[in-house]
Amino acid sequence: MKRRTLLASGAGAALAASLGLPLRAQDGPLKVGFIYVGPVGDGGWTFQHDQARQAVEAHFGDAVETIYQESVPEGADAERAITQMVLQGCKLIFTTSFGYMDATVNVAAQFPDVKFEHATGYKTAPNLATYDARFYEGRAVIGTIAGRMTKSNKIGYIGSFPIPEVIQGINSSFIHARKVNPDVEMVVAWAYTWFDPAKEADAAKAMIEQGVDVVMQHTDSTAPQAAAAEAGNVFTFGQASDMAAFKPTPRISSIIDNWAPYYIKRVQAVLDGTWESSRFWGGIGDGEVLIGDITEAVPAEVKAEAEALRDAIGSGAYHPFTGPLSKQDGSVWLAEGEVATDEVLSGMNFYVEGIVGDIPS
C-alpha cells in the first residue's frame, strides 16, 4: 500500500520534479547556505567555515540569512543536501569540502539561477565558482620556525591524503625548514583521514618515538597537540584553527584558515548583482591564510625571521616556490629565480629534492 502510493504520487510529479519544484519566493533577506563536512565543533576545518558564516551574518545583519547542514557525507548524500538547500530558498550556497565537487556540479546544472561556491575543487560552471586557500604560504612560515626549533633535526608531517594541496604543504614546509637548517630531515606519515583523533594521535606518537621533535599536521584534530604535550619537548603548530588551548607549548604557532573576507565579498557580489563565476585562490596577502600568535617558546630572532617571511609572502615580494628547486629524483624543476605556476601547483604530485620516501599511489 505504502509503496504504491509512493510510486503513484512520484510518477504524478514526474516531470514537475526535475525543474518545476516550488521554490520559496525571494522576498526578504538573501538566504545563504553552507554544507559542512564535519561537525561545527570540530575545532578545525568546519569550525573555521562556520566562524566565517557567523561573520557573514554579523556583517550583513538583516539583509542576509544563513543556514547550514553539518556532517554531510561526501558522496551520495551531498547532492540531496545541496538540493534541499536550494528548495529552502538559498540563492548562494557554499559547499566546503573537495568531495562535494560532482554533487555541486550536478545541482548547479539543475538550478541556473542559484549561485554555487565549491571549496578546493577544480570544476566550474557559469553559476559555480571555486575557491581555495594558499595554505603552502603559511607552511613556508611554520616550516621556517620548525627548521629553527628542531634539535634532533627530524621534523614530522602528518598528511591526510596524498593530494596536491597536501603535497604542496609538505614541499613548502620542507624547503623552508632546510633553508634555515641544512641538516633537517622530514618524516611523512599518512593518516588517510581529515579528522580522526585516534589515528592522528597514533601517527604523532610513532613519529615522536622515531626522534621527531617538531610535528606538523595537515589533519584537523588537536590529538597530535595532546600527544606532543604528553611526550614533552616536542613542538607543534595549530592547523586550520588556532588551537590556542595548547599554547605556549607544544603549540608554538598556527596556520589559520580565515574564510570570512571571501565569504563577505561573495555575498556582497550577489546582493549587488555582480557575482560571476571565478576561481579564487587566496593566500596570506588576501587575509585568507593567517599565521597564529608565535609564542614565547620561540626565540625572538626566529620569530622576527618568520614574520619577515610572512610579510614578504603577503606583499608578493617572495613566492614560496622560487627556483632553484629540484624534484626528488634530482631533475631540475625550477631554474634560478623561476616561480612555480598555479597550474603546476594545483596538480602537484611529486616531492622536492631531499624528502625521503614515496608518495603513495
Partner 1 sequence: MIRLEKRAQPSRGWTIATPIIAVVATMIAGGLMFAALGKDPVEAIRTIFWDPLFGPFASYARPQLLVKAGPLILIAIGLSFGFKAGIWNIGAEGQYIMGALTGAATALAFYPAEWWIIFPLAILAGAVGGFLWAMIPAVLKVRFGTNEILVSLMLVYVAQSLLAAAALGWLRNPEGMGFPGSRNLAQWAATANPELIAGTGMHWGVVMAFLSVIVAYVILSRHMLGFSIRVTGQSPRAAAFAGVNPGRLVIVCMGVSGALAGMAGLFEVTGPAGQISIDFNVGYGFTAIIVAFLGRLHPVGILLAGLLMALTYIGGEMAQLSLGLPAAAIQLFQGMLLFFLLAVDVLTNYRIRAARREVA
Residues in the site for partner 1, rule: CB under 8 A? 2-3, 6-7, 9-11, 13-18, 21-22, 33, 39-40, 67, 69-71, 73-77, 79-81, 83-85, 87-88, 98-99, 102, 122, 161-164, 192, 346-349, 360-361
Min. distance of Cβ 286 from partner 1 in angstroms? 23
Min. distance of Cβ 37 from partner 1 in angstroms? 9
Sequence letter at residue 151: K
Q: Which is nearer to partner 1, 17 or 308 (CB)?
A: 17
Min. distance of Cβ 117 from partner 1 in angstroms? 18
Q: Which is nearer to partner 1, 50 or 137 (CB)?
A: 50
Distance between CA atoms of 165 and 73, rounded to whole angstroms?
21
Dihedral over alpha carbons 100, 105, 107, 110 (to 10 degrees): 180
Min. distance of Cβ 76 from partner 1 in angstroms? 4
Q: φ, ψ for residue 30 (rounded to 5)?
A: -70, 130
Min. distance of Cβ 292 from partner 1 in angstroms? 27
Q: φ, ψ for residue 9 (rounded to 5)?
A: -70, -35
Min. distance of Cβ 106 from partner 1 in angstroms? 8
Confirm if 200 and 228 have CB atoms less than 8 A apart: no
What SS3 state is found at 120?
A: coil
What SS3 state is found at 17?
A: helix
Min. distance of Cβ 91 from partner 1 in angstroms? 15
Strand partners, 156: 187, 215
Min. distance of Cβ 148 from partner 1 in angstroms? 32
Cell reading at 35: 554544507
How many alpha carbons fall within 13 Å on the CB side of residue 278? Answer: 11
What SS3 state is found at 255?
A: strand
Q: Which is nearer to partner 1, 86 or 227 (CB)?
A: 86
Q: Which is nearer to partner 1, 2 or 113 (CB)?
A: 2
Distance between CA atoms of 253 and 148, rounded to whole angstroms?
13
Residue in the structure block whose three cell numbers are 580522526: 196
Q: Which is nearer to partner 1, 45 or 237 (CB)?
A: 45
Q: Which is nearer to partner 1, 84 or 268 (CB)?
A: 84
Q: Calculate helix-pair angle for 135-149, 300-315, nearest 10 degrees.
A: 160
Q: Which is nearer to partner 1, 81 or 114 (CB)?
A: 81
Distance between CA atoms of 348 and 222, rounded to whole angstroms?
27
Q: Which is nearer to partner 1, 318 or 350 (CB)?
A: 350
| H or E element, residue 154 | strand 154-159
Strand partners, 251: 236
Pairing of strands 325-326, 289-292: unpaired
